[in-house]
């Protein structure tokens, strides 16, 4: 393939890195699928049990390393994989396959893993797609042990950019430490556990590049652009120097932002909150200076479970989060993990209705422990919102604790489907607040599945921008709060536009809070407002981005663009 070459992927961890490629897993293993005799079943089961034990031990070691290096905040990510090593649906099913199907352990691992992941990959929910990748990672660990392979490590102490088909979180803990300076993977998403760890380690990463990354040669110079989601191959000396200068400008741009207020150049205050999914992320959110939790994803507590935790278990989690963040507000989003991601209050099955009521009661009980709000995802009709609010009141009446029954609990909704944005004025009559979710809104507006990572599903498309603006205008007319979360708020290019549209509250990943604050401090609202007006009249996302570069580029050059315009 000709050089130089630019590959497009998903920006998973911000920053710029340049270094020689270190290819992992280039030689794909060849698994021996064998039929076995009855007399060999016990031996094969023993092989599998040993592989499970060694794999679990490997992940335990990674968890200890992660805790030692970065505290306990992200260690629960690896607990998911440890739990899967005792999961009947996976581990017991593999043993049963060895016994009943008369096949060797490698074949059984691959067969059961594929059976479990196939329906998850067919699902439209990004949550379930991520769970399919979790199964893949556990499968990889088990097969590695069965085949007697060792984990690959960087071969020298010199800086390297890791290039892999995929990287499990357990391997990421070990391999994202120095000398690794960048990461490129064929698979992956910006919300994956490996992406979260890359941000934790401060390693610029681009994931979801596709099979083209197989064209990268071992030792070849690679430029990882964690802002634009691009990978440069065969970079010149000049390009390397420009990238390194850009990296230095970025670090200087963030200097001292931890203690700075999020106030624009013309004195407009902006509230920056954090998106979290782990209770242990609360400490990191406070350390980053987040002014609250704008989106607490509750699905994490359901991993590796047939049903959500009990009401009391959920209450303890919500109470601890609310207490730690007090007096800052915490917005708990109800479970967002069904195939169509809609827990409609008026058409739930008995089991799902019970699950949702259990969660609502737990949040109501926790609301007396701090400032708490409840938010429903994927609301598409006004009747759904009315039904959801009625369900909250039904749960309130059922509580034995009088203080919990009388606790104030604002109930809001995600504006993340076109119908909600188009009828935002009607929804605003019933919602206490809006949170615009740009990721799903972009995909549904552009008629793309949520798992489709094509660049055309961008919130910078004028059609999406107009829906976003409509939702914000309806909230303002009804005098209810409206925040923005999703990738658009975390994009240093787009955040200036977000402010220009009129948003004064955004929620971003914990690791992005300092960057968002730095961007806010370099934006002039008057200028940004004119940019937003012009962007709404553009005909394409490319035209919008060109407007942003022309109008806001001077102050944001240290983040995403070379001074020369390259």
Q: What is the CATH number of the domain that holds 213?
A: 3.50.30.10
| pLDDT value at residue 212 | 65
Band of the pLDDT at 155, cuts 50, 70, 90?
low
Helix then strand count (H, E) for the chain reads 22, 16
Band of the pLDDT at 8, cuts 50, 70, 90?
confident
> CB neighbours (10 Å) of residue 399?
16
* Residue 272 tokens, joined: 């920056």
179-186: average pLDDT: 94
Band of the pLDDT at 454, cuts 50, 70, 90?
very low
For residue 265, count CB atoms less than 10 angstroms from its CB and return exposed for 0-12, middle for 13-18, buried for 19 or more.
middle
> CB neighbours (10 Å) of residue 155?
10
If you ran DSSP here, which 8-state letter would residue 30 be given? -
Mark whether 106 and 183 lie in a shared domain: no
Apex 93 CA angle, 89 and 98, nearest 5:
165
Mark whether 138 and 159 lie in a shared domain: no
Band of the pLDDT at 346, cuts 50, 70, 90?
very low
* Structural domain contains residue 118: yes
CA gap 28, 114 in Å, rounded: 18
Band of the pLDDT at 391, cuts 50, 70, 90?
very high
| pLDDT value at residue 484 | 97
* Residue 133 tokens, joined: 């990748």
* Residue 391 tokens, joined: 């369900």
Mark whether 222 and 115 lie in a shared domain: no
| pLDDT value at residue 318 | 95
Q: What φ, ψ does residue 293 adopt, rounded to 5°?
A: -110, 110
Question: Are the beta carbons of 329 and 293 closer than 8 angstroms?
Answer: yes
Mark whether 126 and 142 lie in a shared domain: yes
Q: Give the 3-state secondary structure of residue 525.
A: helix
Whether residue 193 lies in the annotated active site: yes
Domain that holds residue 123: 38-146
- Calculate the alpha carbon distances from 161 to 11, 81, 171, 175, 210 in Å: 15, 26, 15, 10, 17
Output the domain CATH number for residue 134.
1.10.274.10
* Residue 149 tokens, joined: 């392979």
Domains identified in the chain, total number = 3
Mark whether 233 and 337 lie in a shared domain: no
pLDDT digits 0-9 by tens, 42-71: 999 999 999 999 999 999 999 999 988 887
Ordered alpha helix ranges (H), 326-445: 350-366, 382-398, 402-405, 418-422, 424-427, 438-445
* Structural domain contains residue 465: yes
CA gap 131, 108 in Å, rounded: 20
Question: Are the beta carbons of 399 and 365 closer than 8 angstroms?
Answer: yes
Whether residue 485 lies in the annotated active site: yes
pLDDT digits 0-9 by tens, 483-518: 999 888 888 779 999 999 999 999 998 888 988 998
Question: Are the beta carbons of 243 and 477 closer than 8 angstroms?
Answer: no
Cis peptide bond upstream of 4, omega within 30: yes
- Among 146, 175, 192, give the residue marking a domain's end: 146
Which one has a higher pLDDT value, 22 or 74?
Answer: 22
Residue 190 Cα to chain centre, angstroms: 5
Question: Are the beta carbons of 190 and 10 closer than 8 angstroms?
Answer: yes
Which one has a higher pLDDT value, 150 or 340?
Answer: 150
pLDDT digits 0-9 by tens, 352-374: 788 899 999 999 999 989 999 99
pLDDT at 461 over 50: yes
- Calculate the alpha carbon distances from 412 to 111, 371, 381 in Å: 43, 14, 14
Q: Among 133, 193, 395, 482, which one carries the catalytic annotation?
A: 193
Mark whether 265 and 385 lie in a shared domain: yes
For residue 458, count CB atoms less than 10 angstroms from its CB and return exposed for 0-12, middle for 13-18, buried for 19 or more.
buried
Q: What is the pTM of this model?
A: 0.79
379-394: average pLDDT: 95
> CB neighbours (10 Å) of residue 418?
16
Mark whether 434 and 503 lie in a shared domain: yes
* Structural domain contains residue 32: no
pLDDT at 403 over 90: no
Which one has a higher pLDDT value, 420 or 225?
Answer: 420
Mark whether 448 and 492 lie in a shared domain: yes
Question: Are the beta carbons of 165 and 187 closer than 8 angstroms?
Answer: yes
CA gap 380, 417 in Å, rounded: 6
Mark whether 407 and 301 lie in a shared domain: yes
Band of the pLDDT at 273, cuts 50, 70, 90?
very high
- Calculate the alpha carbon distances from 7 to 185, 388, 460 in Å: 11, 44, 21
Mark whether 384 and 434 lie in a shared domain: yes
- Among 217, 234, 251, give the residue marking a domain's end: 251
């Amino acid at each position: 393939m000709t050089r130089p070459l630019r590959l497009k992927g998903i920006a998973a961890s911000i920053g710029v890195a340049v270094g020689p490629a270190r290819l992992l897993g280039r030689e794909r293993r060849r698994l021996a699928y064998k039929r076995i005799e009855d007399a060999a079943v016990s031996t094969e089961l023993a092989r599998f049990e040993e592989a499970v034990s060694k794999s679990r031990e490997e992940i335990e070691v990674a968890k200890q390393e992660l805790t030692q290096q970065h505290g306990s905040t992200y260690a629960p990510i690896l607990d998911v994989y440890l739990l899967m090593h005792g999961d009947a649906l996976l581990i017991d099913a593999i043993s049963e396959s060895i016994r009943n199907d008369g096949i060797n352990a490698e074949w059984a691992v691959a067969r059961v893993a594929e059976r479990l992941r196939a329906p998850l990959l067919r699902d439209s929910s990004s949550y379930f797609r991520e769970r399919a990748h979790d199964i893949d990672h556990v499968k990889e660990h088990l097969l590695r042990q069965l085949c007697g392979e060792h984990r690959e490590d960087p071969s020298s102490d010199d800086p390297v950019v890791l290039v892999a088909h995929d990287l499990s979180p357990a391997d990421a803990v070990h391999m994202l430490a120095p000398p690794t300076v960048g990461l490129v993977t064929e698979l992956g998403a910006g919300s994956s556990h490996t992406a979260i760890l890359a941000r934790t380690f401060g390693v610029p990463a681009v994931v979801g590049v596709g099979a083209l990354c197989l064209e990268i040669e071992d030792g070849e110079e690679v430029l990882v652009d964690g802002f634009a989601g691009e990978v440069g191959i065969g970079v010149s000396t000049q390009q390397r120097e420009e990238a390194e200068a850009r990296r230095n400008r970025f670090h200087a741009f963030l200097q001292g932002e931890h203690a700075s207020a999020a106030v624009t150049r013309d004195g407009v205050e902006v509230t920056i909150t954090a998106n979290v999914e782990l209770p242990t992320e609360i400490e990191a959110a406070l350390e980053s200076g987040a002014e609250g939790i704008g989106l607490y994803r509750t699905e994490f507590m359901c991993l590796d479970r047939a049903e959500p935790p009990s009401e009391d278990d959920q209450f303890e989690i919500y109470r601890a989060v609310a207490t730690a963040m007090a007096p800052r507000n915490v917005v708990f989003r109800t479970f967002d993990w069904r195939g169509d991601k809609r827990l409609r209050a008026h058409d739930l099955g008995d089991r799902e209705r019970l699950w949702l009521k259990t969660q609502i009661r737990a949040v109501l009980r926790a609301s007396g422990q701090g400032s708490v709000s409840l938010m429903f995802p994927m609301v598409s009709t006004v009747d759904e919102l009315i039904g959801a609010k009625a369900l909250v009141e039904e749960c309130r009446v059922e509580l034995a604790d009088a203080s919990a029954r009388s606790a104030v609990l604002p109930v809001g909704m995600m504006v993340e489907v076109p119908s909600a944005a188009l009828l935002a004025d009607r929804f605003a009559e019933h919602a206490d607040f809006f949170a615009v979710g740009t990721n799903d809104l972009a995909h549904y507006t552009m008629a793309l599945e949520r798992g489709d990572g094509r660049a055309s599903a961008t919130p910078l498309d004028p059609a999406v921008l107009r829906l976003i603006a409509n939702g914000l205008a309806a909230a303002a007319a009804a005098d209810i709060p409206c925040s923005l979360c999703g990738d658009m708020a975390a994009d240093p290019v787009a955040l200036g536009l977000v402010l220009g549209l009129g948003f004064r509250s955004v929620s971003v990943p914990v690791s992005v809070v300092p960057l968002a604050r730095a961007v806010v401090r370099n934006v002039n609202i008057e200028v940004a407002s004119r940019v937003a007006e012009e962007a709404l009249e553009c005909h394409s996302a490319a035209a919008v981005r060109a407007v942003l570069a022309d109008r806001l580029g001077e102050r944001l050059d240290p983040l995403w663009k070379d001074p020369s315009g390259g």
